[in-house]
Each structure stands twice: as structure tokens, then as C-alpha cells.
């Protein structure tokens, strides 16, 4: 994200720096913590009332995914992931010796949807669903009927869901994020929800994420596998920045979403106009656009093509799953002029104009 952070965040960090002391984090005098800031914010934003005692603070969301996979499944167990997928989720499953069971999203021609029939078949013999909601890279915000269908399958097959909701702040009206755990209590009790201020408030380098466990049993199991000595600790700079983001930076976020929403419109319009043949469904959320470049015939890996011919670095391709070959992912969290220049370069290169 190219936007300077919110003033309250900068001030919180400056206040830590001004003390010239970087000792271990100490409980704050006002009792505020990342866990209570998260719990209160979920209540304010989504009407999701959660107990801060069931929130654990970790160094990042990918660590949370990996530790949950380790805690709630065994080697060679099947783990279901909707593909295309943010690559670290796929890698974690592989690195921990679990079996990746891909359930590709269905492209309806206007958007990507959960393939519920595919999911029903995919879950057989698996222990867990790794869910990404809103979804990276497609930007889909799954709707209540999709989440309810997921709930039926998860409950019927006695599964645990790890729901990575790191993009939940970045949803464009009229769409609204519905936390998976809020869909229904039975599903909530088997859901671990992951979140962080890192994507929406531009804090990714500071390292802090949270995991909320939907039941005491899940939290206890996690704690027994990962005592603090194994997890490590988050720095006081990061804790203070995250609290400032969640308690005091909503105005900044609303402004950032305004810019991102306009960038999203410009990007989708320009892809349609200037990259004929490329297909981009307007993302409901995130600052990521998932673009199908297969008809452009740019070679096996379009990210390599755009890097080479346009000097534009994009992610995409088979790191996101087998069905992602021929796609690129554009990050549009930049100043409009920068995004314009990126699109000019991509269009010129794809049109053979370089
Ligand atoms: C879905 C998703 N999960 C996790 C992350 C990474 O979060 P962290 O840096 O906290 O591991 C990202 C970053 O892009 C993401 O898109």
C-alpha cells in the first residue's frame, strides 16, 4: 500500500520512540490491549460480540495459519483450500506435510463463486477448511447463502475452519463483510478467525496479527500446542500501532477506501478498454484485481511477460494454484497517477507497443 499511515498510528509509534526505551512490552496503564481493541472493533463494525480472552496475538497472519494447521490437523490430513489462493496458504499446507485438496472457485462469467457441490466432494476425508474471506486474489466477498452452504458442510463433516479475514476492512459498498463465525453459533464454535491491521492500515512490515478461537476447547488446544516460548512475542511498536489503528483510525480508513474505490473503477474500465481480451471481474473487496490474460497469449507466465516488456512487477500464475495459469494480480493501492502509468505500460506491452 502506497498511502502514508494514519496520524494516530504515527503518533503512537512516535510516542514509543520518544521514550528511548525498547524493553519488553508492559501492560498499558489504561488496560488497553490488542485483544480488547480487536474484540471491541468487531462489535462496533459487525455486531460480532466476542470474548477478548479467546483472542491470541501473533506476529502475523501466515504464522497464525501455520500454527492452526499444525494444532488442528495431523500430517497427511487433507486441508481444503479455495483456489486460486494467496500462495502462502498453499505453501503452509505443503510445508507441514498435509494434503492440499483444492476446491477451485467457479467463474460465472461475472464473478467467482464458491463451488458448493465441489466442496461437498472435496471435504470427504479432510479435517479442515482454510478459508480466505474476503478472498485473495479474486476480491470476492462471499454472500450469506454461500457461507450458510459452507456451514452445512463443515458441521456435517465435523470440520474446523480457519478463516483468514485480513481483508475484511477493505470492502466496497454496497457489499458488506459478514464474519464467518457470525453466520451461526455452531459454525462459530468451530471457526478460528484471523485478522490484522496490516493490510488495511499499511502496517504489514510491523508484524502483528490476531487469532480468535470460537470455543474454549479450540483455544486450549492451540495454547497447549503453542505456548508463548514457541510463538514468540510482538514488539511494543507493533502493539501500539495496531491499537491506534483499531481504536482511532477509522476516518483515515474511510478516506483510503474512497481512493481505492475510485482506483478500482478506473482499473476495471481501463482493462476493458485498453487490454481487449483480458477479463477482470470487479473485486468486491481488497486492493487486488485478478486479471485473466489467457486470451492475450503472453506466454506461459504473464507476470514474467509484464516484468520483461513493461517493467511492471505483478504476482500471478501457478503460485496461486494450477487453474491460475495465465492470470496476473494487480495491486491498486497506489496513487491514481501511478496506477495510470502501470496500466499504460501493461496496455502498450500487451498491444506489442514496446
Ligand atoms: C489473505 C492474506 N493472508 C495473509 C496475508 C499476510 O499477512 P501477514 O503479513 O500478517 O502474514 C496476506 C497479505 O497479503 C493476505 O492477503
In the prediction, which pLDDT does 300 show?
Answer: 85
Q: What is the pLDDT of residue 149?
A: 98
Among 228, 163, 165, 154, smallest CA distance to 197 is for 165
Cα of 323 vs centre of ligand 1, distance in Å, is: 21
Letter string b/e over residues 170-190, b meaning 16 or more CB atoms within 10 A of that residue's CB: bbbeeeebbbbbbbeeebbbb
In angstroms, what is the span from residue 192 Cα to ligand 1's centroid? 15
Q: Which atom of ligand 1 is nearest to the CA of 135?
A: 1
Nearest protein CA to atom 1 of ligand 1, as residue: 136
**Which amino acid residue places its CA nearest to atom 7 of ligand 1?**
61
Query: Within a 10 A sphere around the Cβ of 54, how many other Cβ atoms?
Result: 19
For 238-288, the DSSP string reads HHHHHHHHHHH-HHHHHHHHHHHHHHHHHHHHHHHHHSTT-EEPPPSBSSE
User: Phi and psi at residue 257, in whole multiples of 5°?
Assistant: -65, -30
Measured in angstroms, how far is the CA atom of residue 198 from the centroid of ligand 1?
Answer: 8
For residue 352, the model assigns a pLDDT of 72
Helix, strand or coil for residue 82? strand
Task: Give 61 Cα–ligand 1 centroid separation in angstroms.
Answer: 6
For ligand 1, mutation pick of 59, 166, 288 (most atoms within 8 Å of CB)? 166
Pocket of ligand 1 (CB under 6 A): 60-62, 86, 132, 136, 164, 166, 196, 198-199, 204, 209
Q: What phi and psi, each to the nearest 5 degrees, are found at residue 212?
A: -110, 125
Mutate which of 61, 195, 285 for ligand 1? The one with the most ligand atoms within 8 Å of its CB, which is 61
Specify the pLDDT at position 323.
87
Query: Best mutation site among 136, 242, 321 for ligand 1, i.e. most ligand atoms within 8 A of its Cβ?
Result: 136
User: How remote is the CA of residue 8 from the centroid of ligand 1, in Å?
Assistant: 23
How high is the pLDDT of residue 317?
A: 86
pTM of this prediction? Answer: 0.97
The number of the ligand 1 atom at minimal distance from the alpha carbon of 89 is 3
Pocket test for ligand 1, best of 83, 141, 204, 289 (most atoms within 8 A of CB): 204
How far is ligand 1, taken at its centre, from the CA of residue 134, in Å? 12
Place of cell 504489514: 204
pLDDT given for residue 354 in this prediction: 55
How far does residue 253's CA lie from ligand 1's centre (Å)? 18
Q: Of all atoms in ligand 1, which is nearest to the CA of residue 286?
A: 16
Cα of 67 vs centre of ligand 1, distance in Å, is: 14
Spacing, Cα 214 to ligand 1 middle (Å): 21
- Report how far apart the first and last C-alpha atoms of the chain are (Å, whole number): 28
Identify the residue whose C-alpha is closest to ligand 1 atom 14.
199
User: Residue holding cell 477509522?
Assistant: 250
Expressed in angstroms and rounded, the spacing between residue 274 Cα and the centre of ligand 1 is: 30
Phi-psi region of 313 (alpha: psi -120 to 50; beta: other; left: phi over 0): beta
The C-alpha R_g of the chain, in whole angstroms, comes to: 20
Average pLDDT per consecutive 10 residues, the chain (354 residues; last block may be shorter): 97 97 92 98 97 97 98 97 97 98 97 97 96 98 97 98 98 97 97 98 98 98 96 96 98 98 97 96 98 94 95 94 94 96 96 71
Identify any residues that bridge with 162 across adjacent strands, giving them in sequence order: 130, 192
Amino acid at each position: 500500500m502506497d498511502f502514508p499511515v494514519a496520524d494516530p498510528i504515527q503518533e503512537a509509534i512516535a510516542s514509543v520512540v520518544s521514550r528511548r526505551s525498547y524493553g519488553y512490552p508492559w501492560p498499558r496503564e489504561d488496560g488497553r490491549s490488542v485483544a480488547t481493541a480487536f474484540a471491541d472493533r468487531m462489535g462496533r463494525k459487525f455486531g460480532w460480540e466476542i470474548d477478548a480472552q479467546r483472542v491470541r496475538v501473533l506476529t502475523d497472519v501466515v504464522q497464525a495459519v501455520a500454527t492452526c494447521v499444525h494444532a488442528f490437523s495431523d500430517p497427511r490430513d487433507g486441508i481444503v483450500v479455495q483456489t486460486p489462493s494467496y500462495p502462502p496458504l498453499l505453501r503452509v499446507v505443503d510445508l507441514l506435510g498435509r494434503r492440499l485438496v483444492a476446491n477451485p472457485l467457479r467463474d460465472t462469467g461475472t464473478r467467482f463463486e464458491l463451488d458448493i457441490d465441489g466442496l461437498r466432494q472435496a471435504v470427504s476425508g479432510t479435517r479442515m477448511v482454510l478459508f480466505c474471506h474476503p478472498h485473495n486474489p479474486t476480491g470476492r466477498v462471499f454472500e450469506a447463502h454461500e457461507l450458510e452452504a459452507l456451514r452445512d458442510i463443515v458441521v456435517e463433516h465435523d470440520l474446523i475452519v480457519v478463516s483468514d479475514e485480513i481483508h475484511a476492512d477493505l470492502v466496497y459498498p454496497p457489499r458488506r463483510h459478514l464474519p464467518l463465525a457470525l453466520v451461526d453459533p455452531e459454525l462459530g464454535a468451530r471457526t478460528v478467525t484471523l485478522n490484522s491491521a496490516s493490510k488495511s492500515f499499511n502496517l504489514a512490515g510491523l508484524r502483528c496479527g490476531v487469532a480468535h478461537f470460537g470455543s474454549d476447547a479450540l483455544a486450549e488446544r492451540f495454547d497447549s500446542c503453542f505456548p508463548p516460548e514457541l510463538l514468540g512475542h510482538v514488539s511494543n511498536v507493533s502493539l501500539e500501532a495496531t491499537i491506534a489503528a483499531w481504536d482511532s483510525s477509522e476516518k483515515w480508513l474511510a478516506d483510503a477506501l474512497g481512493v481505492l474505490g475510485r482506483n478500482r473503477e478506473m482499473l476495471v474500465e481501463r482493462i476493458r478498454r485498453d487490454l481487449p481480451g483480458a477479463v477482470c471481474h470487479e473485486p468486491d473487496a481488497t486492493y487486488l484485481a485478478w486479471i485473466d490474460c489467457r486470451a492475450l497469449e503472453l506466454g506461459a507466465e504473464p507476470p514474467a511477460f509484464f516484468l520483461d516488456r513493461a517493467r511492471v512487477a505483478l504476482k500471478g500464475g501457478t503460485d496461486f494454484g494450477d487453474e491460475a495459469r495465465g492470470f496476473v494480480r494487480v495491486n491498486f493501492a497506489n496513487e491514481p497517477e501511478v496506477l495510470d502509468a502501470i496500466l499504460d505500460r501493461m496496455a502498450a506491452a500487451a498491444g506489442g507497443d514496446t
